[in-house]
Each structure stands twice: as structure tokens, then as C-alpha cells.
Amino acid sequence: MTIQTLYNASTGMSAMQTKLDVIANNLANVQTTAFKGDRLNFEDLLYQQEKLPGALDAAGQRTPTGIETGTGVRVQSTQTNQTQGTMQSTGNQLDLAIQGNGFFRVVDPSGNMMYSRAGNFSQNANGLIVLSSANIGRVLQPQMTIPKEAIAISVAPDGTVSAQMPNQSTLQTIGQIELSTFINPGGLLKMGENLYQETDASGTVQNTTPNTNGVGSIVQGSLEASNVEPVQQLIDLITTQRSFEMNSQVIQAGDQMLEDIVTLARNG
């Protein structure tokens, strides 16, 4: 069983290393717009059954317990925390935040449809509203063009986008933002760059007018902050480090016991 002890502890160290990777990524993205933190889930491995519960004892009675030894732990899944991040006011008329459920829908030059909670939009050279990036322009869907003579842009909570033109007191509607929702947003594929992609696990996308049917509303001039709680992550960091150290000590103890057994066998 000493060899099994070494194996069990090694799976614990490996699991804690993966958890440390998740914590490090969460902390690295504390300032990332609309970032959603991850949680690592674990599961125990198969058990070695020496005696099954309910076996007959010497008196013919069913035993209430058995003898079973675990073989370690492994990573079960990473689960994204989809809770709302706090709103940070920026005053930028193309900074948009989602209060509630939903994702912005954008498409890249290759035609790939992506989804994002980050609403740091800009206007490109053609007047299209795009998700800001120094690497690539992803056009907001449904796409809309801001007139070059517009002096101000207004976005209503229901996603109606209007432009104020020179010498006009009334606003001119130029488009309608839609929000995309999924039955299981945790099943979306993370693509990096604040983007997600639809998968079979997420369910089929539903595109809806904001502020209707339980879908979130648009907040202009604000951005959603990361929902990572740094203090909680630091606590998790400490407990993960201690768990790693304890598993390391188990390996040292198992190695010492194995050495003692070898020495006794050699001298016996």
C-alpha cells in the first residue's frame, strides 16, 4: 500500500497544480473587462474494493460497511462563474455594459460569429461599430453605421441606437442592438480576447431585444468589470499551496516507510 500512497499523493499534487493555474488566470484577469472567473472542480478516482458493504459475516449477517481504498483525485471540470460584474462608469458614448443576462454578438472578417460581455466598442474607418481591438475589427451584429456628420450617439436600455445630427433637435435611429442568450452559458467555448463561441453544450443561440423577456438591458457610458474577487482568490491560493505541501509531505512519509521496509527485508 506504500506504493499506492505515493501515487495517491502525486495525483493530489497534480490536481493542486491545475487549481493553481486556474487561480493565477483569475488573478491575472482582475482588471479584464467583463471577465468571468473560473472554479476548478475535483472528483475522487476508482476505489480498490477489498470487502464490499453488505457481505455476509461469520454469523450470516450483512455487514454495514466494507473495506475500500481510494486511488487519488483528478480534475473533474472548470466551471465559469457567470454572476454580474460591477458597473464602471466611463462616460464614453460607445462603452456599453449589459445589466443582466445576455451577450453582444460580433463577427470577424472571416465570418466567425462570436459572443462577448465586453462592450468597449469603437467606430472604424467605415463608420461601423466594432469591438475594440488592436489586432482585428469585429463588427457588432446587427451591424450599423454611424453617420460621419453625427455629433453624438445615444443607446437606450432596449438597445435602440440613435444619432444626433447637426442643427436637428430630434434623434435619428440608426440601428437596434440585440443580445444573445443561451440555455447553458457555462457551455460556451472560451476563445480568448473576451470572446465566446457557441457549442452543443451551450444550446442554440436566441437573439432578443434587450430589456425584454428576462434579457438584460444596455447601460451606455459604462463597462462591466471582472467579477473576480481578489481576496477570495488569495485565500484559495493559500489553501491550495497548503494542500500541495501536505501531499508532498505524504510522499516523503511514504518514501521513508518504503525505505524502512526495504531495510528490514534486507536485514531479515
Check whether residue 40 and residue 106 sit in a common domain: no
Say yes or no to pLDDT of 7 above 60.
yes
Check whether residue 219 and residue 189 sit in a common domain: yes
pLDDT of residue 265: 79
SS3 assignment, position 184: coil
How high does pLDDT run on average in the chain? 92
Residue 268 Cα to chain centre, angstroms: 57
Check whether residue 55 and residue 159 sit in a common domain: no
Predicted confidence band of residue 268 (pLDDT cuts 50, 70, 90): low
Higher pLDDT, 230 or 3: 230
The torsion angle over the Cα atoms of residues 215, 220, 224 and 225, rounded to 10 degrees, is: -170
Check whether residue 136 and residue 54 sit in a common domain: no
Check whether residue 15 and residue 106 sit in a common domain: no
Domain count, the chain: 2
% of the chain with per-residue pLDDT over 70: 99
Predicted confidence band of residue 262 (pLDDT cuts 50, 70, 90): confident
SS3 assignment, position 68: strand
The answer to whether 227 and 85 have CB atoms below 8 angstroms apart is: yes
Take residue 108 and report the three cell numbers written for it.
Answer: 470577424
Spatial neighbors of 101 by CB under 8 A, at least 6 apart, are 179, 181, 214, 215, 216
Take residue 217 and report the three cell numbers written for it.
Answer: 438591458
Predicted confidence band of residue 1 (pLDDT cuts 50, 70, 90): low
| pLDDT tens, position by position, 197-242 | 999 999 999 999 999 988 999 999 999 999 999 999 999 999 999 9
C-alpha 234/C-alpha 241 separation (Å) is: 11
Q: What is the mean pLDDT of residues 20-39?
A: 97
Check whether residue 78 and residue 54 sit in a common domain: yes
Range of the domain at 6: 2-82+229-267
Take residue 165 and report the three cell numbers written for it.
Answer: 445630427
Q: What is the mean pLDDT of residues 147-176?
A: 92
Check whether residue 244 and residue 220 sit in a common domain: no
pLDDT of residue 53: 87
Check whether residue 29 and residue 114 sit in a common domain: no
